[in-house]
Structure 1
Amino acid sequence: MSGSLTSQPAPLLRVEGLCQYFKTQDGRTVHAVEALTFDIKRGHTVGLVGESGSGKTTAGRAILRLLEPTAGQVFFNGTDVLSLPSKEMKRYRQKMQIIFQDPFSSLNPRMRVSQIIGEALNTAGYPKGEARKARVEELLQRVGLQAEHADRYPHEFSGGQRQRIGIARAIAVEPDFIVADESVSALDVSVQAQVLNLLGELQRSLGLTLLFIAHDLTVVEYLCDEVVVMYLGRVMERGPCREVYARPRHPYTQALLSAAPVPDPTRKKQRIVLRGDIPSPISPPSGCVFRTRCPYATALCAADVPAEQHVSDEHWVSCVRLHELNLQEQGRHDNAYQ
């Protein structure tokens, strides 16, 4: 895989050429995810970002086989989980969990919290009785809730509390890897911070590896070690958060970061406004899928799908005009100091 360094330990999760297509009723193909490739190191958090419709959630569900991918490979601890029979995959599901976006619709309204978490414990063969009750109470306290909350129903909680229940369910089976799918986007800003801090604490104490799907780049910068920028199912840029945020190379990443609010009224930002809307995944543009909205696009961009280009250690960009754009950026940088 491009970007892999043989001298480094193998990643916990490796996604190679993942594709997810759907068929419409009239027989057309929806290209939801196209040739998605990236790694997640053990104990790290990778943020998957992009506009609505970029394929982030679909990618997360395909990695966990909640959707059966059309093509590609997903290696978890060296095993291609996409090739496993369903019985064998059930064992791996204990190690690969998900926190859903909507903390209300993902919880069964007819079940008490103890039953919701208990379902997860059933899959792990956890004993019933007092041991089960004690485990549920321990999980609730770990996510900042009380033991007596086990007897309540989801509608009796706030949105932040419901998301904590979802987190408790995800960690109940002691997973190694969790997909957090827009897990704070439906919450108030103050509650978002609490849930993010909880995820960070759980990651450190339990040794979790996270794929954090989000559209809020500020949240990703706070929580994640690396970032993967998606547009219309394809990766535009990926690399360490600090480096990508400090010096984004792809025009799409630059536009996303220019739109992120800055908590400093004295700091001026040059907003990059993209033309038009994201194209339909039924008929994506030829070549670079971003070219129809890119301010730097030329006829060259329509010819071929750009290959990933190495920028630095673990920083990769998919842009056929990367070298030219780098020269333009260097020129602006030099002029600023003249």
Structure 2
Amino acid sequence: MSAEVLTPAIRDQEPLLSVQGLTKHFPARNGRIVHAVEDVSFDVRRGSTVGLVGESGSGKTTAGRSVLRLVEPTGGKAIFDGVDLFALSPREMRSYRQRLQIVFQDPFSSLNPRMRIAAILGEALDARGFPRGKARKDRIAELLTLVGLSPDHATRYPHEFSGGQRQRIGIARALAVEPEFVVADEPVSALDVSVQAQVLNLLGELQKKLGLTLLFIAHDLSVVEYLCDEVVVMYLGRVMERGPSKQVYAAPRHPYTKALLATAPVPDPTRRRTHVPLQGDIPSPINPPSGCVFRTRCPEAVAACAEIIPPVEHVGGGHHVACIRHNEPIA
């Protein structure tokens, strides 16, 4: 599937996952609150890849883990295949774990160093009641082959592999339960650039082969552009812009998206940057700015930006923007 445009078959169907008003607060010292995620909404259509992108501290990882209830959300809904995951009891949620999986950022710390790869994948197979014996051994060999490794690697320990190979093992573990939906939480950020491309290609191939639906979390816009059909740009817990990747990258509307694109690597040395790079540091989520949370770093901010929390409004073609100065409909 091309990351440039959604096919009509995907674009017109109901989303597999619809996140509505997702909010997550953490308690801090002296009764203060960390506003990690605030009123975040987006859809993920079956068979597509949606990218959550933003700087460190933007809330994208918390949003992804909240959807899976690896951290309990404070508010909102996550409608998965018609069922609100946030309304399920812990026991009811366990029955959905097989359908929703995650690939973690650090492929070393997410694997038990004292377990052989066969045992690591075996734990995942236990979760779905997979029988032991030859059938299990064959399934482990199949999973390793699926992610580009040798079945012989099943007898080794995690420290015997490179970072890219360990991430392939993490992907195999997530796929062991045959999920429909996978959150990939910055799965290539800890890898060398040359290895990143291999893992991204693997994810794209697996999505097509297995019919996976992906929520891909990253801080690198070039990675998201390569892999994702749609993109959701987050800043300090809020959505700044979202829409089809082709539209957002070709004609970004929010000053934050423009700034992120200005700092992204440009492969063509003759190509001039048309946006102002991002300046300063992201504010504390304990004390976010009033109004638009991006206003303290925004080169286009006006006085009203301190008073109004801009709604995420549709500007045409599935493109949404949260900016009082740039939310006019696209002509």
Normalised-by-shorter TM-score class: over 0.9
Match of 1:37, SS? strand
| Alignment-derived partner of residue 224 in structure 1 | 228
Structure 1 residues 260 and 325 mapped into 2: Cα distance closer, same or farther (>3 Å)? Answer: farther
* Among 126, 129, 132, the residue aligned to 1:128: 132
TM-score by length of 2: 0.94
Shift of 1:276: 2.1
Check if 1:215 corresponds to 2:219: yes
* Among 188, 198, 202, the residue aligned to 2:206: 202
Question: Contact 2:100–2:182 (CA<8 Å) still a contact in 1?
Answer: yes
| Alignment-derived partner of residue 317 in structure 2 | 313
Question: Contact 2:263–2:278 (CA<8 Å) still a contact in 1?
Answer: no
Residues 7-26 of structure 1 mapped to structure 2, 5 A cutoff: 8-26=12-30
| Alignment-derived partner of residue 8 in structure 2 | none
Q: Take 1:146 and 1:26, find their aligned partners in 2: how far apart are those partners?
A: 53
Please identify, of 244-253 and 25-34, the stretch whose mean Cα deviation from structure 2 is larger.
25-34
Shift of 1:275: 3.3
Check if 1:56 corresponds to 2:60: yes
Q: Take 2:285 and 2:185, find their aligned partners in 1: how far apart are those partners?
A: 21
TM-score by length of 1: 0.93
Structure 1 residues 146 and 57 mapped into 2: Cα distance closer, same or farther (>3 Å)? Answer: same
Please identify, of 25-34 and 172-181, the stretch whose mean Cα deviation from structure 2 is larger.
25-34
Question: Contact 2:254–2:323 (CA<8 Å) still a contact in 1?
Answer: yes
* Among 156, 161, 164, the residue aligned to 1:160: 164
Q: Take 1:246 and 1:273, find their aligned partners in 2: how far apart are those partners?
A: 17
Match of 1:322, SS? coil
Q: Take 2:240 and 2:328, find their aligned partners in 1: how far apart are those partners?
A: 17
CA deviation profile, 1:93-118 (whole Å, cap 9, x unmatched): 10000000000000000100011111
Q: Take 1:189 and 1:60, find their aligned partners in 2: how far apart are those partners?
A: 24
Shift of 1:266: 1.6
Question: Contact 2:315–2:329 (CA<8 Å) still a contact in 1?
Answer: no
* Among 271, 277, 285, the residue aligned to 1:273: 277
Question: Contact 2:291–2:306 (CA<8 Å) still a contact in 1?
Answer: yes
Structure 1 segments (4+ residues) deviating >3 Å: 323-326
CA deviation profile, 1:207-265 (whole Å, cap 9, x unmatched): 00000000111111110000000000000000000000000000000000111111111
Shift of 1:60: 0.7
Shift of 1:323: 5.3
| Alignment-derived partner of residue 67 in structure 1 | 71
Please identify, of 267-276 and 95-104, the stretch whose mean Cα deviation from structure 2 is larger.
267-276
Match of 2:138, SS? helix
Q: Take 1:245 and 1:239, find their aligned partners in 2: how far apart are those partners?
A: 10
Residues 1-338 of structure 1 mapped to structure 2, 5 A cutoff: 8-322=12-326
Match of 1:59, SS? helix
Q: Output the aligned Cα RMSD.
A: 1.5
Shift of 1:325: 11
Supply the AA of the counterpart residue of 1:14.
S
Question: Contact 2:305–2:324 (CA<8 Å) still a contact in 1?
Answer: yes
Structure 2 portions without partners, runs of 5+: 1-10
Match of 2:95, SS? helix
CA deviation profile, 1:260-289 (whole Å, cap 9, x unmatched): 111111212145133321110001011110
Shift of 1:8: 3.7
Question: Contact 2:262–2:278 (CA<8 Å) still a contact in 1?
Answer: no
Using the aligned pairs only, state the percent identity. 69
Match of 1:139, SS? helix
Match of 1:200, SS? helix
Supply the AA of the counterpart residue of 1:313.
G
Q: Take 1:44 and 1:226, find their aligned partners in 2: how far apart are those partners?
A: 8
Please identify, of 306-315 and 12-21, the stretch whose mean Cα deviation from structure 2 is larger.
306-315
Structure 1 residues 288 and 149 mapped into 2: Cα distance closer, same or farther (>3 Å)? Answer: same
Structure 1 residues 186 and 323 mapped into 2: Cα distance closer, same or farther (>3 Å)? Answer: closer
Match of 2:26, SS? strand
Shift of 1:298: 1.1
Q: Take 1:155 and 1:252, find their aligned partners in 2: how far apart are those partners?
A: 40
Match of 1:46, SS? strand
Please identify, of 272-281 and 200-209, the stretch whose mean Cα deviation from structure 2 is larger.
272-281
Shift of 1:324: 7.6
Question: Contact 2:260–2:278 (CA<8 Å) still a contact in 1?
Answer: no
Q: Take 2:22 and 2:302, find their aligned partners in 1: how far apart are those partners?
A: 28
